[in-house]
Structure 1
Amino acid sequence: MTKKPSSVPLAGGALLALSLIVGSVAGVLRGQPSVGFIGGLGVGLALLVAIALIDRARTR
């Protein structure tokens, strides 16, 4: 018997939230919290898109 791949999607929201927090903290340490937040948002969105693409390829 072959195992059917799971149809449960992967979640990337935790990575997005974590990257926002880490980016903000790094920004505060450098004196630029807004820049850190935007950087964390960019990294988080990139990770989110990567996980979505991996999940899409996995379920096909």
Structure 2
Amino acid sequence: MAKTDKIDASVIASFAAVIKPAIRPVNDDQALRLKATVSRRRQLSDMVKAETSRGQTLS
């Protein structure tokens, strides 16, 4: 069964009607690109740390 079935949609709609969460604007293209770049930089940094650690273990 898919996650987006009718029951889930109904529960989500009921929750939103009761909680009334604040409406947030969608990020613009530049903010999304920056977020993706920062995320990728973090991934690469973690990879460098892991490889450095692996290299020290092998020495």
TM-score by length of 1: 0.48
TM-score by length of 2: 0.48
